Amino acid sequence: MSPKAERTGAPIILASTSPRRAALLAEAGIAFEPLDPGIGDASEEELAARWRALGIAPGAVAKRLAVAKALAAAPKKKTGLVLAADTVVALEDRTLGKPRDRADARVMIELLAGKTHEVTTGFALLDLATGRLEADSETSRVSFKKIDEATLEGFLASGTWAGKAGAYGVQDEAARLLVAGVEGSRSNVVGLPVERVRALLARVALALVATCALAGCPGKTGSGLKTAPFDDGLITTAVTTPKIDVKPSDPDPNEPFVPGVDEGQPSHGLPEMTLTIGDKKITVELATTDPERHVGLMNRDSMPEDHGMLFVFSEEGRVVHNFWMKNTRLPLSIAYLLDDGTIRTLDDMEPLDLRTKHQSGEPCRLALELNKGWFKIHGVRPGDKVQGITPELLATGE
């Protein structure tokens, strides 16, 4: 049966030749139609190498490649929701693609042995009826065992390294010889963060249902595809998936909304401002009250590049702070700031990590959260200053 969206009849099209992604969607009960986007491994490697040479982070590279695949597949279909993905394996500053041969696979596995690396999958969803696009990425951390020569030879003899970024597939029996543990989404390491994709489909379905209620469901366009500009940030879309109901109590997206910590919803509509770090401008939401700070960036599935949240505490809140990642699905980096904007400490935070407390080290009343790796990518260190912190801003902390 063709996967039809309940309200628009739009099929879900998987723009991928990966049997692993197809299996993940099938196991999740998400019906789809497979389609080869027509971008070969050589083209992917060339694009990835070019972007990494420009200093673009692995997550952004994976996201760009996913978008490229979605757009390449678009002319082959007239209607539907195109889902595309790409997975990047990175160890520190080095990105590992698919091995050319057994010797190349050996080099990759030897490089990963005894270390922890990151696996990032970018994913994109394109609505062919409107040309609107949403893209995001998920990062997991994989730890490898120390590997002796006999183990390495046994793994290489299995041949399961072929066609896989980083020369291994965590789902393969042979990979048990290598992998010590996975932190984060395991399906993401396989090739598609299924829960994030499911959440994306559910979220955008709500947007389309609301659109249908106000203006009627869109029909077939019958014209050429026009896509929204892609700038590595979040591009809002309106698509739909089956069996998604809108509750009358859903908050108005145009009004400020701060849910309870355990309500499973993100806050939205908070005031925003622009700050500057070095020559880079960032847009931050302001969390200035206890409810806003407690929810923070919980229950969000994406955040645009160069966006974040600034936590502003009152003078009474000038204490040693310990941030953690309860209900927070986004990998983040945090900076604790002095009143003049000077960065005192920097730390990376893993999604849903309830064990690690990220401490400020000294009393402060400002904390800045951005996408994980932002500070490192832009060469920001403790002692650098965030411009735009004013007495008027500090006075907003309650």
pLDDT tens-digit map of 255-302: 566 666 556 788 888 889 999 999 999 999 999 988 889 899 998 888
- H-helix or E-strand spanning residue 95: strand 94-96
The 3-state DSSP class for residue 369 equals strand
On whether both 150 and 287 belong to a single domain, the answer is no
Determine phi and psi for 155, rounding to 5 degrees. Answer: -65, -45
Residue where a domain terminates, one of 215, 233, 260: 215
Any domain includes 17: yes
On whether both 194 and 293 belong to a single domain, the answer is no
Question: Could you give the angle at the alpha carbon of 146 between the alpha carbons of 189 and 149, nearest 5°?
Answer: 110
The predicted pLDDT at position 257 comes to 65
The predicted pLDDT at position 237 comes to 32
Any domain includes 23: yes
Distances (CA, A) of 81 to 53, 78, 134, 184: 32, 10, 11, 27
On whether both 115 and 184 belong to a single domain, the answer is yes
Any domain includes 264: no
On whether both 198 and 331 belong to a single domain, the answer is no
On whether both 277 and 210 belong to a single domain, the answer is no
The predicted pLDDT at position 270 comes to 85
Any domain includes 210: yes
Task: For 209-257, give the DSSP string.
Answer: HHHHHHH-------S---PPP--SS--------SS----TTPPPTTS-B
3-state secondary structure 310-349: EEECCHHHCECCEECCCCCCCCEEEEEECCCCEEEEEEEE
The burial class, CB within 10 Å (0-12 / 13-18 / 19+), for 6 is middle
Any domain includes 27: yes
Among 323, 335, 22, smallest CA distance to 171 is for 22
User: Which residues does residue 84 pair with via DSSP β-bridges, in sequence order?
Assistant: 124
The domain in which residue 388 lies consists of: 272-394
The burial class, CB within 10 Å (0-12 / 13-18 / 19+), for 19 is exposed
On whether both 65 and 192 belong to a single domain, the answer is yes
Residue type, 329: R
Any domain includes 191: yes
Residue where a domain terminates, one of 215, 231, 262: 215
Residue type, 395: A
On whether both 48 and 175 belong to a single domain, the answer is yes
Among 397, 373, 227, 243, smallest CA distance to 308 is for 373
Pairing of strands 81-91, 12-15: parallel
Rounded-to-integer distance, Cα 378 and Cα 373, Å:
9
Q: What is the CATH number of the domain that holds 153?
A: 3.90.950.10
Tell me the pLDDT tens digit for each residue of 234-248. 333 333 333 333 333
The predicted pLDDT at position 123 comes to 92
Any domain includes 99: yes
On whether both 60 and 172 belong to a single domain, the answer is yes
Residues 4/25, Cβ–Cβ less than 8 Å: no
Rounded-to-integer distance, Cα 288 and Cα 62, Å:
34
Q: What is the CATH number of the domain that holds 310?
A: 2.60.120.1140
Structurally, the chain folds into a number of domains equal to 2
On whether both 154 and 283 belong to a single domain, the answer is no
Any domain includes 102: yes
Residue where a domain terminates, one of 167, 198, 215: 215
The burial class, CB within 10 Å (0-12 / 13-18 / 19+), for 356 is middle
On whether both 199 and 342 belong to a single domain, the answer is no
On whether both 160 and 280 belong to a single domain, the answer is no
221: left (phi over 0), alpha (psi -120 to 50) or beta: alpha
Write out residues in the chain with pLDDT < 70, as ranges: 1-10, 203-263
On whether both 328 and 207 belong to a single domain, the answer is no
Question: Catalytic residue positions?
Answer: 86
Rounded-to-integer distance, Cα 259 and Cα 266, Å:
7
The predicted pLDDT at position 4 comes to 38
The predicted pLDDT at position 207 comes to 53
The predicted pLDDT at position 227 comes to 38
Residues 187-216, buried b or exposed e (16+ Cβ, 10 A)?
bbbbbbbbebbbbbbebbbbbbbeebeeee
The predicted pLDDT at position 8 comes to 39
Residues 303/238, Cβ–Cβ less than 8 Å: no
